[in-house]
A and B are shown apart, each in its own frame.
Chain A
Amino acid sequence: MMTKRQNIMYTLAALVVFAGILFLLDENLGAYPKRIFILAGIYVTLALSLNLINGFTGLFTLGHAGFMAVGAYTCALLTMPPDLKTMNFFLKPIVPFLANVQWPFLPALLMGGVLAGVIGFLIAAPVLRLRDDYLAIATLGFGEIIRIIFTNTQSLTNGALGLKGLPRFTTVWWSWGIAAVTVFFMVNLINSSYGKAFKAIREDEVAAEAMGINLFKHKVISFTIGSVIAGIGGALMGHLLGAIDPLMFRFLMTFNILLIVVLGGIGSITGSVIGAVIVTIVMEALRVLDGTMHLGFMTIAGKPGMRMVIFSALLMAVVILYQKGLMGRNEFTWDGFFQRLHRMSGRKKR
């Protein structure tokens, strides 16, 4: 067993190494791999936010894309320079109160999170009276409602045309920095006596309530925090891609994040991090399959969508081999890490 101090030292050392890796990658990666690396960081943040609601509190929600949209649009509208706004809003001019604002990235990003949180809070009150599949359907509905509203508020969101030419603020540091903060937040929250109430609700609502936990309050807190982080994630994504439109935030987006959470392990922070990195990289790496392949003895004509077939097959294999996701509900610990190292080196010697 390791002492607390050792644990902290190792964690700090790992953080320094991690920052070093970020620096090296930031300097040396080409534009395309760098974008994927940044995207992976954003997915870490998003997966954690969904995992807080789904995995730790046990509320099956599917409205995540809606909150991402709120965050992405808020942040974009606050950071875009006024002349860019006039260029974007050529069908109908933008509402006057937004026409001339231009905030720096950080406050706009936080504002995106806050607004997503406010919407999440408002939706939580009626929706969280439902449970399980009914909750999933209701949140899915609200996610879609947000998207439809954004499609139809021409002078506020530019409707279906979306917003283009967003300043590309999201760097490796922003994406992974926010991801690291989210991990820190989640670890501290979930391991505190206060945060354990969320897990208690997941395990048994009746017993949790009998132990003095206010179910509704905690569900609303969990849902709202999840929405805030989702909003921030959405904003980061908008400023990475440089363009957003309502179609981006369809159910498919929620599904991608849910996939990461399930693959990594529902209720595991480590799992979400690993899942996000693997899914983002594999999805891109498999792009080769969409093109024409020469295997020496034969040539397979390129079929768009081929990679999704392979990806799905890989997913199925993982789910069959690891029924509770890669990590289950386990977390990374230094003790576990060194034990594993020890076992591996022992095996080699023999």
Chain B
Amino acid sequence: MSVLTTDNLTMIFGGLTAVDDLNITIEKNEIIGLIGPNGAGKTTAFNMITGVYNPTHGRVRFEEEDITGKRPDQITAHGIARTFQNIRLFKELSVLDNVIIANHIHLRHNLFSAVARTPGYVKEEKRIRERSMDLLAEVGLDSLHEAEAVSLPYGKQRRLEIARALATSPKLLLLDEPAAGMNPQESHELMEFIRQIRTRFDLTILMIEHHMQVVMGVCERIYVLDYGETIAHGSPENIQNDPKVIEAYLGVE
């Protein structure tokens, strides 16, 4: 059973076809890359999968269940979490609060038990706090849990975004350019980190990335988009030698 399947997923904005007939299949515990030049439709594909956009046509299936057209929060509840290309943290909240908020779909208490501070609520609150601290420890941010999210350096903000996504207990994690703006050392660490969280949290990962070293180093299969069309698909070695990919990235003589 594949984790994620898209069938002829298409997004048309006015006269522009941003994504055309995207067919991807991801098996459990794979790390898949989605690459392509700027404007190829990668983030649009992410937005369709996570429900931010309603696809013009085509379907998205998650663990064989049709999730097309559901709201983003419902899709998160199904088990898909994401990070954003231009980091979207809850900027003025603390690092810990950022992760605590992502426990929302697992909350068993509601407004009334929260206000009345019922014993069940107090216990759950404690559990959520511990779980969030553990997640922060996982990404090496536990010592900074009281800091304002926006005050973190760029690389740590990226890590916090991943910790926050993990707090929703996803089965599929979508990473939108996780290595953007990282130096070679940091991106090397990131590759290690991605492999680690896959095993640790039993994840399947789909990532958009421009950083070729990262993509080739960590992804098991790669889909290449150009002007919304899927121009290639295969293992990193095949992609590197595919004439169409080279043409899309470098042009032809």
**A residues bordering B, Cβ < 8 Å?**
185, 188-189, 192-197, 199-200, 203-204, 206-215, 221, 329
Complex Cα gap A195–B109 (Å): 11
**Contact of B230 with A by CB under 8 A:** no
| CB contact under 8 A between A212 and B77, given known A189-B114, A193-B101, A196-B100 | yes
Q: Which residues of B contact A211 (CB under 8 A)?
A: 73, 76, 81, 101-102, 104, 164, 167-168
13 A-B Cβ contacts within 8 A?
A: A194-B107, A194-B109, A194-B111, A196-B97, A199-B93, A200-B101, A204-B91, A207-B88, A208-B90, A209-B71, A210-B82, A211-B104, A212-B104
Chain A contact residues: helix, strand, loop or mixed: helix
**Contact of B246 with A by CB under 8 A:** no
**Contact of B194 with A by CB under 8 A:** no
**Contact of B212 with A by CB under 8 A:** no
Q: Report the count of interface residues on B (CB-CB < 8 A).
A: 38
Which residue of the partner chain B has the closest CB to A209?
B72
**Contact of B92 with A by CB under 8 A:** yes
Complex Cα gap A209–B104 (Å): 10
**Contact of B241 with A by CB under 8 A:** no
How far apart are A192's CB and chain B's nearest CB, in angstroms? 4
Complex Cα gap A203–B150 (Å): 11
Within 8 A of A (CB), among B55-98: 71-73, 76-77, 81-82, 84, 88-93, 97
Complex Cα gap A195–B76 (Å): 19
**Residues A203 and B76 in contact, CB atoms below 8 Å apart:** no
How far apart are A225's CB and chain B's nearest CB, in angstroms? 8
**Most B C-beta atoms less than 10 A away, residue of A192, A193, A215:** A193
**B residues bordering A, Cβ < 8 Å?**
50, 52, 71-73, 76-77, 81-82, 84, 88-93, 97, 100-105, 107, 109-111, 114-117, 121, 124-125, 128, 164, 167-168
**Residues B88 and A206 in contact, CB atoms below 8 Å apart:** yes
Q: Which residues of A contact B71 (CB under 8 A)?
A: 209, 214
How far apart are A201's CB and chain B's nearest CB, in angstroms? 9
| CB contact under 8 A between A212 and B76, given known A197-B104, A199-B93, A207-B84 | yes
Complex Cα gap A200–B88 (Å): 11
**Residues A215 and B128 in contact, CB atoms below 8 Å apart:** no
Complex Cα gap A211–B84 (Å): 12
How far apart are B58's CB and chain A's nearest CB, in angstroms? 21
Which residue of the partner chain B has the closest CB to A189?
B115
Q: Which of A188, A189, A206, A210 contacts B76 (CB 8 A)?
A: A210
Complex Cα gap A210–B77 (Å): 10
Which residue of the partner chain A has the closest CB to B50?
A210
Complex Cα gap A40–B76 (Å): 44
How far apart are A323's CB and chain B's nearest CB, in angstroms? 15
